[in-house]
Amino acid sequence: MPVRSRIIGVGSYLPTKILTNHDLEREVDTSDEWILDRTGIRERRIASEEEATSDLAFNAAKEALKGAGIKPEDLDFIIVATVTPDMLFPSSACLVQQRLGVKGIFAFDISAACSGFIYAISVADQYIRSGIHRTGLVIGADTFSRVVDWTDRNTCVLFGDGAGAVVLQADYNGRGIISTHLYSDGTLWDFLYIPGGGSRIPPGEEMVKKRLQYVKMRGNETFKVAVNTMSEAIGEALKSNGLTSADIKLFIPHQANLRIIQAVGKRLNIPMERFKINLDRYGNTSAASIPIALYEAVMEGEIKEDDYILLEAFGGGLTWGSALIRW
């Protein structure tokens, strides 16, 4: 059997503070009815003042390591997918490494917005399949509450904070990541972005005055591209592995908007019960959304040994992709 990267532990962390749609009604001109109807979201989690992305990531990582039954010293590398790192540098992965107290391994962040987790496990998979490394920790973590404009009803109702983690290890029994497919289209970069705070518009008075440190989104256009790209990503993953949607036990899509997932299901003729959904409770947690949903599916016994599951995401960049896993 060829070497594959198998998920041997899962973890998640969600901040305790809950922000409901009714809470948001008091902040911006919106309603529980509008948010629920247009997105499927009821509430989301908000990090405490003391918590930053590496704290969420660390908590998810601890649980994944425990579930895997391994120690931090057993890791060969740490990858964190995030677009809301604690600082521009060092990477949040290095901060997690410090918290785990493990030296002599490498750690880095990946920036692919909501597709970040798929990108990160794809990179991790290459290290493991090639035989260069045996065991890696991959985390998706984002704290969008720090980068959304809480006066902009078009975006602030959509996002939440959280982290999810997996431990991947070389396995020779045919289980693990079967394939990953990654895509991006940089011509659509301005569908979803944060203009300020980088080298183009550095932090300063002008940035703050124009509120350029916050997420900007062309929601309607993003919605349409999301439906197309997620459908294509699923189709491509199935085709290249000679499978049909009937072979997949559970689809775990990026949790941005229920209507996007419904449209994908309709287009591909996949019933909604086959999609894992938790966005009603957490909103869009960006790179964390897929590993959190995976964690819940595992804990709720929705996935059994040898089942095929298909993860699919899209996000800023624009980026999109899939990961087919035999559990």
Binding site for ligand ACO (CB under 6 A): 30, 34-35, 38-39, 113-114, 153-154, 157, 192, 217, 219-220, 222-223, 226, 256-257, 284, 286, 315-316
**39/91 with CB nearer ligand ACO:** 39
Residue 96 CB contacts under 8 Å (≥ 6 apart), including other chains: 54, 57, 58, 61, 78, 80, 107, 137, 139
* Closer residue to ligand ACO, CB minimum distance, 98 or 262: 262
What is the nearest approach in angstroms of ligand ACO to the Cβ of residue 259? 7
Which segments of the chain are extended strands (E)?
Answer: 4-13, 17-20, 43-46, 77-81, 106-110, 135-143, 161-171, 176-184, 192-193, 216-217, 248-253, 308-315, 319-326
Q: Smallest gap, in angstroms, from Cβ of residue 191 to ligand ACO? A: 8
Residue 94 bears catalytic tag? no
Name the minimum Å distance from CB 239 to ligand ACO.
25
Q: Which is nearer to ligand ACO, 33 or 206 (CB)?
A: 33
**Nearest distance, CB of residue 277 and ligand ACO, angstroms:** 14
Question: How far apart are the C-alpha atoms of 324 and 181, rounded to whole Å?
Answer: 9
C-alpha pair distances (Å), 272 with each of 253, 258, 283: 11, 10, 18
The token duo for 304 is 């059994």
Active site residue 241: no
Q: 202: burial class by Cβ within 10 Å (0-12, 13-18, 19+)?
A: exposed
Active-site residue, from 59, 181, 254, 257: 254
Query: In this complex, which beta carbon is closest to ligand ACO, that of residue 187 or of residue 220?
Result: 220
Cα–chain-centroid distance for residue 139?
9
Of all residues in the shown chain, the one whose CB is closest to ligand ACO is: 315
Q: Is 114 in the active site?
A: yes
Query: Of 21, 114, 133, 181, which residue is the catalytic one?
Result: 114
SS3 109: strand
In whole angstroms, how close is the CB of 192 to ligand ACO at the nearest point? 5
Nearer to ligand ACO, 190 or 247 (CB): 190
Q: Which residues are catalytic?
A: 114, 254, 284
